[in-house]
Chains A and B, each alone.
Chain A
Amino acid sequence: MERPLPAPAGLAADRYAGLSLAAWQKFGTLALIVLAAVLPFALSRYHVFELTMVMIYAIAVLGLNILTGYNGQISLGHGGFFAAGAYTAAILMHHYGVPYWATLPPAAVICFALGVLFGLPALRFEGPYLALVTLAMALATPQLLKYFDTWTGGQQGINLVKPMPPPALVELGLDRDRWLYYVAFVALLIAIRVAANLLHGRTGRALIAIRDQPIAAAAMGIHTARYKTLAFGTSTLFTGVAGALAAIVIGYVSPEGYSLFLSVSFLVGSAIGGIATIGGAIVGGLFIQFVPNLANDISDAAPWAIYGLAMLLFMYAMPRGVVGSLGPLIARLTQRIRAG
């Protein structure tokens, strides 16, 4: 993660309270992980469910971040890939009796393939044209889901049974909600690890080069088309796995749940968190899950106006997103403290 902890004031040395900055970062991350791990036992079932959804949306937004942030391609269609993952899981579980955890790899593979498939033609388009192509994906999704109703259950959707935790863990006090929380949690940690490795390495640098200076990058021998397509595929892989998890946690899939608004929500969450960041995905997930409810509490009559207003205010204050704006800010602060 790229967010360094602020150093204790007054210390100008490279070591803070005996530890280097990197050590503090690791410590902070570990503390967060431990906190997240014990939360389910301190909260009610409903709040555990809410946080599970936050993590799932974070994985979905992380997928979008890879595409938008690191590759400069705006997608209005990620709701469609979320649906693809969800229905893969639902169809495998409902029609073929596949256990829930075994649906995640097929969802990943199928959504990756779909992403590569759509990435290829999408390469030709820029800016608003790409937005249109991805918009078409988002609009086509409910129609296609309704049409192939022998598989998808059409309008009626598919009801899924919420999985039970392994018997051994039931003794420890894990109910269904807590178990799924941990499943989503582990998935999120893996997703973050994979994304970090990808983006902080050679592939990431290539993607950023393609985003910022595509002609120079091509001139330097970076195979633009291949990287862009891979970026699309990886991004849809993440979002698809998130969709599969969501289907399992909610226990029901139907075309109404995958409307254009879902795609827009992902984009909004991505922008508000910070498109070229990993931590921003978590902020995005929190925004998508909680701000609509908060808006409803503030105004009964026009809650979406409040939500829209929140979007505007966030973009004014932090045009690069929360993590995108705060990250450099904190870095500058620590530098200033370090300089004396």
Chain B
Amino acid sequence: MSNRGQAQYLRIFDNSQTYTRWQSYYINQTITLDSASWTYNPFNADGMVSGSAGGSNVTITVPATATAISVFTAALNQNRLCEIKTYEFDTRLSNTAPQAGQSLISSYVGEVIKISGSFVELQVSLGSALSPVGAQVPPRKFTTLLIGAPLRT
């Protein structure tokens, strides 16, 4: 029998503040981790991959509550970041609050790049707005403002 438990934590933030802290392990509890409060919200995040570019396909599945829709659509509209952390711990020792000796086994930071789903469930994809197609660099182009009407040879 495995004694390994894994708890996931979700944080939505930007440069100025944190907007949402959720955890999905301690049911109906608000727990404290890293001196911050994490409220219970059922979700799971899968597809967290570290390594070569192209492998990550992180998807958060969450009930389509009004709160969840509001949180994630705001994140999508405002380019907020979403951080998922997974901690591992011994379930025999405590299931009421995060254990001091738990280990961080994965972490992922991405922008909310896509939201889809049904009326009752949302799938939120994380990644970056860096599109694999389309010209992006050099970032600046010669414009009329920069060079006027240029010489024609």
A and B associate in one complex: no
Measured CB to CB, the residues of A under 8 A from B are none
